[in-house]
Structure 1
Amino acid sequence: MSALTAPVRASKPRSVKSAALGLAAWLAGLVFFLPVAWLVLTSFHSEADAASNPPALTAPLTLDGYRAFFDTSGGSTPWPPLINSMTASLASTALVLLLALPAAYALAIRPVKGWRDVLFFFLSTKMLPVVAGLLPIYLFARNTGMLDNVWLLVLLYTSMNLPIAVWMLQSFLAEVPVSVIEAAQLDGARLPVVLGRVIAPIVLPGIAATALICFIFSWNELLFARVLTGVVAETAPVHLTGFITSQGLFLAQLSAAAIAISLPVLAAGFAAQDKLVQGLSLGAVK
């Protein structure tokens, strides 16, 4: 009888531990979710209700913050900054993938001599603080006439995200069976065909995950865009800082602008969430 009840008794502490871990996970999720929920709620309040102390949780909801953000009658329109951010993010992400995929192929499938040192060199480029290279980049942009130019941001975002993309794609391509590549080469396929028609479909989730991360990093970048752009190439994060003025902090408009500017990233993440999960877990289970 005791032998039959022993597994039941042993399972009780495990169930309590699982319940405690689940509760802790829910609490952690709520801690991270509450600021986002507060931002969304504030965006639907008037300026008076948003600035009230204590916060007016039951205040009437309004779309005034979004109307003020998209209103073009005051001379400030969000569309050019949004287009600039989209152009810089998409162009740099495409360029990063175009350069990172052959580099990852050379490091994972056809490893060059000292390929580990090459990977650590890529990683070492991310150890320099961004602000340390800001002055030389500014002087270069000024002397070449590229200040306030969105294509300068494309080049900077490409160089910023390329090491991360090479690292990620190298780990994904290391899982590709070499026999598949050798079979394609025996059929006469050259490197561009192997990369585009053989390897890319196999590691498509990894490519999607890499592209999404590079897109998010480019979309959210502020320091370079703040210093190197003015009116013509202003990006969405720079436009967002314009709601903090000497007249005060417009919390409702700022919250509405933050939500509106975050929507493209949220939409991209939602559309590619299955590929993102597959890509980030690729190779985790043998």
Structure 2
Amino acid sequence: MARAVKSQRKVLNTGLAWTIGLVIFFPILWTILTSFKTEAEAIASPPIFLNFSWTLENYAVVQERSDYMRFLINSVIIAGGSTVLGVIVAVPAAWSMAFVPSARTKDILLWMLSTKMLPAVGVLYPIYLLFIRLGILDSRVGLVIVVMLINLPIIVWMLYTYFREIPGEILEAARMDGAGLREEILYVLTPMAVPGIASTLLLNFILAWNEAFWTLNLTAAKAAPLTAFIASYSSPEGLFYAKLSAASTMAIAPILILGWFSQKQLVRGLTFGAVK
């Protein structure tokens, strides 16, 4: 009897998980399907789900009108650069909080996290003026720095959580063997926290890839990433849903592929240390 109840519960949980997953994925699926419709079919009422004339015209128009590869390269550089720079800064910070006892550690972590609660528009004007003064407005360097700073609290929090699961005795043994601070972090701590660091890299790369507010306000043309590529299809002349959907599909395709192939590593990293 207990086995039957357990089996029913498993089926119910599986069905619920699939339902939630499909609900979350449906907007992406609808965007992809709309990208293959004509403009008339894209705004048809009632909406057409599958019974429409499939066409690649929207992708051809988008590719002809915009230099997709330039936007893609900018996105890769900005997201990748900000993620790597953030981890370089966050690893020593998380190490010091995890292994150097301090009564203020939790307060510092909460203060860092509280910076994410500040509306971005509240600091847009001073950052915009600062970028003009430094000459990094509409530059990849400027966007790498600002996106890294935005996501840095999350990176530090995640790495701190992973580092706390590593026994401090291992690091003490490394010090007794003559390891300095650099060797301790690079050759002892980092290899043991590879799953956590990898999941942190993946998650923050996705966050940086999807960052829209700062990339739209601090770029014009030269450093514009895929978020600006999508926004360019919302014009005063009208909103062309099919072409906008094609541009959106082209923008999210790389990150969807990355997420699909790295999902096991991401789950492994997010559950790192959860089971002892």
TM-score normalised according to structure 1 size? 0.89
Aligned equivalent of 1:141: 131
TM superposition shift of 1:13: 5.3
1:2-41 paired onto structure 2 within 5 Å: 8=1, 15-41=7-33
Greater displacement, 184-193 / 203-212: 184-193
CA contact (8 A) 1:46 1:252 kept: yes
Q: Which one has a bigger Cα radius of gyration?
A: 1
CA contact (8 A) 1:208 1:272 kept: no
Greater displacement, 10-19 / 238-247: 10-19
Q: Does 1:244 align with 2:234?
A: yes
Partner of 1:179, secondary structure, is helix
Partner of 2:117, secondary structure, is coil
Distance 1:26 1:270, change over 3 A: closer
Can you list the C-alpha shifts for 1:77-131, whole angstroms capped at 9, x where unaligned?
1222221111111111111000100111001122344211211121121121111
Partner of 2:22, secondary structure, is helix
Aligned equivalent of 2:47: 55
TM superposition shift of 1:208: 0.9
Distance 1:187 1:14, change over 3 A: closer
CA contact (8 A) 1:106 1:112 kept: no
Q: Does 1:170 align with 2:160?
A: yes
TM-score normalised according to structure 2 size? 0.92
Separation in structure 2 between the aligned mates of residue 42 and residue 86 of structure 1, nearest angstrom: 26
Q: Does 1:97 align with 2:93?
A: no
Q: Choose which of 98, 106, 109 in structure 2 pairs with 1:119.
A: 109
What is the one-letter code of the residue matched to 1:97? V
What percentage of aligned pairs have identical amino acids? 40
Separation in structure 1 between the aligned mates of residue 183 and residue 220 of structure 2, nearest angstrom: 42
> How many residues in Structure 1 have an aligned counterpart in Structure 2?
275
TM superposition shift of 1:16: 4.6
Partner of 2:116, secondary structure, is coil
CA contact (8 A) 1:206 1:275 kept: no
CA contact (8 A) 2:229 2:247 kept: no
Distance 1:260 1:111, change over 3 A: farther
Q: Does 1:281 align with 2:274?
A: no
Q: Does 1:64 align with 2:57?
A: yes
Superposition CA RMSD, Å: 1.9
TM superposition shift of 1:186: 2.2
Greater displacement, 158-167 / 248-257: 248-257
Separation in structure 1 between the aligned mates of residue 112 and residue 135 of structure 2, nearest angstrom: 29
TM superposition shift of 1:62: 1.7
TM superposition shift of 1:18: 4.5
What is the one-letter code of the residue matched to 1:70? Q
Separation in structure 2 between the aligned mates of residue 11 and residue 79 of structure 1, nearest angstrom: 55
Structure 2: give runs of 5+ residues left out of the alignment.
none
CA contact (8 A) 1:105 1:170 kept: yes
Aligned equivalent of 1:46: 38
Partner of 1:284, secondary structure, is coil
Can you list the C-alpha shifts for 1:34-85, whole angstroms capped at 9, x where unaligned?
22221111112222322222223311212222222222xx4x3122222111
CA contact (8 A) 1:209 1:276 kept: yes
Separation in structure 2 between the aligned mates of residue 234 and residue 138 of structure 1, nearest angstrom: 16
TM superposition shift of 1:160: 0.5
Q: Does 1:81 align with 2:71?
A: yes
TM superposition shift of 1:278: 1.2
Separation in structure 2 between the aligned mates of residue 205 and residue 87 of structure 1, nearest angstrom: 23
1:221-260 paired onto structure 2 within 5 Å: 221-260=211-250
CA contact (8 A) 1:181 1:194 kept: yes
TM superposition shift of 1:23: 3.2
Separation in structure 2 between the aligned mates of residue 112 and residue 21 of structure 1, nearest angstrom: 42
Q: Does 1:151 align with 2:138?
A: no
